[in-house]
């Protein structure tokens, strides 16, 4: 099982780094369209009786019928598409009205094929919404200083609003040093401790929220899932998904428990949850018996499992046993086609926000200068 591993350790589906050691195995970020087209349900809590409609995927409908599904499918692919259209419209408007084009810089070191694929995907995604992308590709034996020099240049470049360093870096580099060098104003991954601290604190606002957990919450919002006052369980406590997802749910007034590798009775605790976010990297770990009837499930795991019937020899499954979940839950994200597509959409969203903020700050500074100049003029006139 899981003989092939495809991972994107930077913003796009970095769930493979989850320290859920007792359960963890390989993960995959390949994504294929599976889910049918659904958009936002206005109901605060999704009723279990909602049926699965699929005008575009008869294969999926058949599968759903076979497992007597009553759960609504949370279609991340469709939501991500809708988000990209919204971002694209905003980018055009920004360009037309004030001449600002958001820019994302990606630094890739070495020749890992998977990393090259992720960088290419990000570049394509930027192009599709009109965001400029800047790519630096350094050889595997590049020095840490070279990488730091590029980061420093991008930090100072006003046409760059977000900087991503594609991970993993070659072993001779200090990852923390390099990531810390990215200015917090361009930390579109949202992993800077200052951003995480602000996320944890009431009354503070982070500049950026990490993309994958932000995508999970966005899915809940767009499907009208009420979070306030609900019991939520986050399975996995990684810095990049589990922990920030828990902080986001907490900010929205859920009562949150993080279940992790040292939790003695994960099944019992998870069964109390109205909302489950699983980010572990263990295929089918969350069984039907873990799920409270009517719960809403967001499955972040993307795990390859061997499948001789597939042309590739494997298929992708989530942390949650999808067939069983469909029988118990009110709504569930499929894998692939659930959280996966949301991550890059959120990266684009963070880059757009950064460009808007940079412009607002520039305008603010300009206004202060104009005001100061006016005041100086008034004084002169007196």
Supply the residues annotated as catalytic: 122, 166, 189
| Site residues (CB under 8 A) for a second copy, limited to 264-303 | 264, 269
The yes or no reply on residue 253 touching a second copy (CB under 8 A) is yes
| C-alpha triplet 250, 218, 32: angle, nearest 5° | 130
Closer CB to a second copy, residue 59 or residue 264? 264
237 is an interface residue for a second copy by CB under 8 A: yes
Shortest Cβ 266–a second copy spacing (Å): 8
Closer Cβ to a second copy, 159 or 257, answer by number: 257
Which span sits near a second copy by CB under 8 A: 54-62, 70-78, 238-246, 286-294? 238-246
Angle at 246 between CA 297 and CA 343, to 5 degrees: 65
- Of 94 and 209, which CB lies nearer to a second copy in the complex structure? 209
Q: Considering CB under 8 A, how many residues would be counted as binding a second copy?
A: 34
Q: Which stretch binds a second copy (CB under 8 A): 123-131, 234-242, 326-334, 358-366?
A: 234-242
Q: Which is nearer to a second copy, 30 or 269 (CB)?
A: 269
Q: Does 45 bind a second copy (CB under 8 A)?
A: no
Site string for a second copy, 1-40 (x = CB under 8 A): ------------------x---------------------
- Judge whether 81 and 342 are in contact, CB under 8 Å: no
Q: What does residue 287 show for φ and ψ, rounded to 5 degrees?
A: -90, 170
Which residue number, 134 or 191, has a Cβ lying nearer to a second copy? 191
DSSP sequence for 82-119: HHHHHHHHHHHHHHHHH----EEEEEEES--HHHHHHH
Which residues have C-beta within 8 Å of that of residue 74, sequence separation ≥ 6?
A: 35, 38, 219, 223, 296, 298, 331, 332, 333, 334, 338
The CA distance from 307 to 213, in Å, is 29
With binding defined as CB under 8 A, does residue 368 bind a second copy? Answer: no
User: Per CB under 8 A, which region of 235-243, 276-284, 289-297, 298-306 contacts a second copy?
Assistant: 235-243
CB 298 within 8 A of CB 219: yes
Which residue, 83 or 235, is less far from a second copy as judged by CB?
235
Instruction: Tell me the C-alpha distance between 253 and 255, whole Å.
Output: 7
Count of CA atoms in the C-beta half-sphere (13 A) of 375: 6
Question: Closest distance between a second copy and the C-beta of residue 6, in Å?
Answer: 24
- Which of 172, 221, 262, 369: binder of a second copy (CB under 8 A)? 262
- The packing angle between helices 211-222 and 242-251, to 10°, is 40
Looking at 15, 178, 247, 321, which residue binds a second copy (CB under 8 A)? 247
Segment interacting with a second copy, rule: CB under 8 A, options 35-43, 251-259, 329-337, 364-372? 251-259
What mask of x and - would describe binding to a second copy in positions 172 to 211, judged by CB under 8 A? --------------------xxxxxxxxxxxxx-------
Backbone dihedral angles phi then psi of residue 167, each to the nearest 5 degrees: -100, 155
Q: Which is nearer to a second copy, 74 or 241 (CB)?
A: 241
The residue behind tokens 């008034």 is 378
Q: Which helix (H) or strand (E) holds 276?
A: strand 275-278
Strand 314-317 to strand 303-306: parallel, antiparallel, or no bridges (unpaired)? antiparallel
Rule CB under 8 A: choose which of 45, 155, 250, 284 binds a second copy.
250
Strand pairing report for 231-235 and 275-278: parallel
What is the binding site for a second copy (CB under 8 A)? 19, 192-204, 228-229, 231, 237-239, 243, 247, 250, 253, 255-260, 262-264, 269
């Amino acid at each position: 099982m899981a003989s092939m591993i495809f991972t994107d350790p930077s913003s796009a589906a970095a769930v493979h780094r989850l320290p859920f050691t007792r359960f963890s195995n390989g993960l995959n970020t390949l994504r294929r369209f599976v889910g049918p087209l659904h958009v936002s349900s206005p109901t605060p809590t999704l009723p279990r009786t909602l049926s699965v409609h699929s005008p575009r995927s008869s294969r999926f409908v058949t599968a759903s019928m076979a497992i007597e599904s009553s759960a609504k499918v949370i279609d991340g692919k469709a939501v991500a598409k809708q988000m990209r259209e919204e971002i694209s419209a905003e980018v055009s408007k920004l360009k037309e009205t004030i001449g600002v084009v958001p820019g994302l810089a990606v630094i890739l070191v070495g020749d890992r094929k998977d990393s090259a694929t992720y960088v290419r995907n990000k570049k394509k995604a930027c192009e599709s919404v009109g965001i400029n992308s800047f790519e630096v590709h350094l050889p595997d034996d590049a020095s840490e200083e070279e990488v730091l020099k590029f980061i420093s240049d991008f930090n100072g470049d006003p046409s760059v609003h977000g900087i991503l360093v594609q991970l993993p870096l070659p072993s001779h580099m200090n990852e923390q040093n390099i990531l810390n060098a990215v200015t917090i104003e361009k930390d579109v991954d949202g992993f800077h401790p200052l951003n995480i601290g602000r996320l944890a604190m009431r009354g503070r606002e982070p500049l950026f929220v990490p993309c994958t957990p932000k995508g999970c919450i966005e899915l809940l919002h767009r499907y009208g899932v009420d979070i306030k006052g609900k019991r939520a369980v986050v399975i996995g406590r990684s810095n990049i998904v589990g922990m920030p997802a828990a902080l986001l749910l907490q900010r929205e007034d859920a009562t949150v428990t993080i279940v992790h590798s040292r939790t003695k009775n994960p099944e019992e605790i998870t069964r109390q949850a109205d909302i489950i976010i699983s980010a572990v990297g263990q295929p089918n770990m969350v069984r039907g018996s873990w799920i409270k009837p009517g719960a809403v499930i967001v499955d972040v795991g993307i795990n390859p499992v061997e499948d001789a019937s597939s042309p590739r020899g494997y298929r992708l499954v989530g942390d949650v046993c999808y067939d069983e979940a469909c029988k118990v839950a009110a709504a569930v994200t499929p894998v692939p086609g659930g959280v996966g597509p949301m991550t890059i959409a959120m990266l684009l969203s963070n880059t757009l926000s950064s460009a808007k903020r940079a412009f607002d700050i520039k305008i603010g500074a300009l206004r202060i200068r104009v005001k100061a100049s006016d005041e100086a003029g008034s004084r002169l006139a007196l």
